[in-house]
Chains A and B, each alone.
Chain A
Amino acid sequence: MNLFNIPTAELMQHLINGLTLGAIYSLIALGYTMVYGILKFINFAHGEILMFGTYAGFLLYYYLCDPSQGGIYVLAIFALSMIFAMLVSATMGIIIEKIAYKPLRNAPRLAPLLSAIGVSIILMNIAAMMFGTKSMKFDYPFENQTMHIAGISITPNQIMILVVGLVMMVGLKLFIDNTRLGKAMRATSENQPVAALMGINVNMIISLTFAIGSALAAVAGVLIAMEFKVYPTMGQLAGLKAFIAAVVGGIGNISGAMLGGLILGVLETFGVVILGIPHGLKDTIAFTVLIIILLFRPSGILIKHIREKV
């Protein structure tokens, strides 16, 4: 393989980097796509839910953590913070849905969108007031020394992102395909009134959807925070890109969101390396992908186009 005259090892290296980024996008995209599947609107506050969860995990970690206690202890605290972040995000997701979206379920399409943007602005600025606008960095709970496996260098953190991402995605897929609740979720997204008639508690399912989506976002947030930083507007760009990932895979489609995230991550990494796009314009790649997908395959790469019926 000698694509664009780049050595295979280097290509593999970029692929790993791209997949790491993509796994994070996928986790966030799942929240968008699940909510879209059921309520048919974009939860603009998703990125901010992610940000709050990350801050919650971050603060708990530094409140409890005592580095002198040894590796296992620190790792346990880290896992605890991650779970706490997930809980905070899930609770927020449920509350936001009850307050800001539920009253608008039968309103014109524009209303929940505007309400969601309002929520996103409120959360972003409250975070800026509470935590300050300075960005903070997570310390790694383990030695983050680059390892070399078969000529590819990979950090333990990247391995953790890939593993956690994979576990979460497979877990979600199994949950949705095989459990009763997952079946109820699929039924609700297919046809809400009929699902209600079949004895499914639609409100509960919607809350559950928000809880799962938000918890996944919190996981992604903590992973981002370790690789990059924590700051009040971190959810905005991450959310935007994850949404694009969801569109690439076909919005409303869970496997699509996973695939879309990975594709977008790889494209972004390769775009910078192969096309030589300057780093300042890196974010343009995702946006270009969005426009191209919308032009040629608006329903995403996985689902067939279905016309809206009256």
Chain B
Amino acid sequence: MVDFVLLIFIYTGIYAISALGLNLIVGYTGMLSLCQAAFIGIGAYCAAILMTFLNIPFWYALLASGLLAAFFGILIGVPTLRLRGDYLAIATLGFGEIVKNVILNWDSVTRGPMGINGIPGPNFFGFTLSSMDKIPWAIFIWIIVLLTYILIRRVVRSRVGRALESIREDEIAASAMGINIAKYKVGAFTCGAFFAGVAGALFAAFNQSVAPLTFDFMMSIMILCMVVLGGLGNSFATVVGTVLIVVTSELPRLLGVSHIIPPQLNQVLFGFILVFMMIYRPQGIIGRVKLNYGKIIKEEILELEK
């Protein structure tokens, strides 16, 4: 039981990292990306191959996974991001399918449908973590979540973050203010892909195995739901959304009724979350903190009147 709760905790952490990345893409910049799972898959396979076949230490593999995913992010982003947002959604949807197909069919590198097993655990100062050491894993992963959170917070509260939000609100106005839209969009997309790659490497290292069908379209949708449920454009809300979604999807197993409830019910729930949140509460359950310019101006006037 405790083990299971810890497992949920660890998965929440891994998903949170990629959801934070996706939030940077969807929430802050307003681009719809549907291939976060593909980036996780790329990261996971990259780490798995480097660590298992080439004996490269975990830390380098972690970094390489992130960078490889980011590279693919640029590859997809450059042709599509010059255009309107809808094209990106379709291009990413297609990219997700392609990545899955390539992983399935490229037997010599990815071992095809069998996946890669026996990935060595990461090494910390002489200790080797295996999947059984759940407490250290949970601590380690949540430290990375915290680092991601701080990093993204630093980014979005800077000039870059304001540029991204202005692109989300009105692309034309933003470009009139001298913001290089394509550059910032590709940058945000690449950043989001990087975090997904890191999450993928953690996924592979924790499970010590990867299988191609894990990283399908539904996983992308699940991560999208986390971002939408919490609140678009709010990193803290994204983490809350992740916790809610992971707990909800594991609840049947936690209560021991998983054999009664069909697995599709979960995904129907995700669909309803997307539709209902968009119609009734587009800002998410927590919402986003907006600068209230009206209030600021009123205060300024009051100051002046004194």
Q: Mark A262-290, 1 if CB is under 8 A from B, else 0.
A: 00000000000000001011011011001
Please report the C-alpha to C-alpha distance between residue A240 and residue B102 in the assembled complex, in whole angstroms: 18
Q: Does B126 contact A (CB under 8 A)?
A: no
On whether the beta carbons of B271 and A120 are closer than 8 Å, the reply is yes
Q: Out of B79, B83, B89, B217, which one reaches A113, CB within 8 Å?
A: B89
Give the residues in chain A near B102, CB-CB below 8 Å: 281
Q: Could you say which of A42, A114, A291 has the most chain B C-beta atoms within 10 Å of its C-beta?
A: A114
Q: Does B247 contact A (CB under 8 A)?
A: no
Q: Does B136 contact A (CB under 8 A)?
A: no
On whether the beta carbons of B95 and A121 are closer than 8 Å, the reply is no
Give the residues in chain B near A78, CB-CB below 8 Å: none
Q: Out of B98, B228, B274, which one reaches A121, CB within 8 Å?
A: B274
On whether the beta carbons of B101 and A281 are closer than 8 Å, the reply is yes
On whether the beta carbons of B30 and A110 are closer than 8 Å, the reply is yes
Q: Mark A226-243, 1 if CB is under 8 A from B, else 0.
A: 000000000011001001
Please report the C-alpha to C-alpha distance between residue A44 and residue B94 in the assembled complex, in whole angstroms: 13
Number of A-B contacts (CB under 8 A): 127
Q: Does A103 contact B (CB under 8 A)?
A: yes
Give the residues in chain B near A120, CB-CB below 8 Å: 271
CB distance from A217 to the nearest CB of B (A): 17
On whether the beta carbons of A240 and B93 are closer than 8 Å, the reply is yes
Binding stretch for chain B, among A52-60, A81-89, A124-132:
A124-132
Q: Does A248 contact B (CB under 8 A)?
A: no
Please report the C-alpha to C-alpha distance between residue A244 and residue B86 in the assembled complex, in whole angstroms: 12
Please report the C-alpha to C-alpha distance between residue A62 and residue B50 in the assembled complex, in whole angstroms: 53
Main secondary structure of the interface of A (DSSP, over half): helix
Please report the C-alpha to C-alpha distance between residue A278 and residue B106 in the assembled complex, in whole angstroms: 11
Q: Could you say which of B86, B224, B265, B270 has the most chain A C-beta atoms within 10 Å of its C-beta?
A: B86
Q: Which range holds the interface residue count of chain A?
A: 35 or more
Find residues 229-250 in chain B having any chain A CB closer than 8 Å to their own CB: 232
Q: Out of A100, A104, A244, which one reaches B90, CB within 8 Å?
A: A244
On whether the beta carbons of B85 and A114 are closer than 8 Å, the reply is no
Please report the C-alpha to C-alpha distance between residue A41 and residue B278 in the assembled complex, in whole angstroms: 15
Q: Mark B255-266, 1 if CB is under 8 A from A, else 0.
A: 000000010110
Contact A100 B85, CB 8 Å, known A42-B90, A113-B32: no
On whether the beta carbons of A114 and B274 are closer than 8 Å, the reply is yes
Contact A110 B85, CB 8 Å, known A100-B275, A119-B271, A240-B97: yes
On whether the beta carbons of A290 and B271 are closer than 8 Å, the reply is no
Give the residues in chain A near B105, CB-CB below 8 Å: 278, 280-281
Q: A118-B272, A287-B95 are in contact. List 8 more A-B contacts (CB 8 A).
A: A110-B32, A114-B278, A117-B271, A243-B90, A280-B101, A283-B98, A291-B80, A298-B83
> Which A residues form the contact surface with B (CB < 8 A)?
41-42, 44, 99-100, 103-104, 107-115, 117-126, 128-129, 236-237, 240, 243-244, 247, 278, 280-281, 283-284, 286-287, 290-291, 294-295, 298, 308, 310
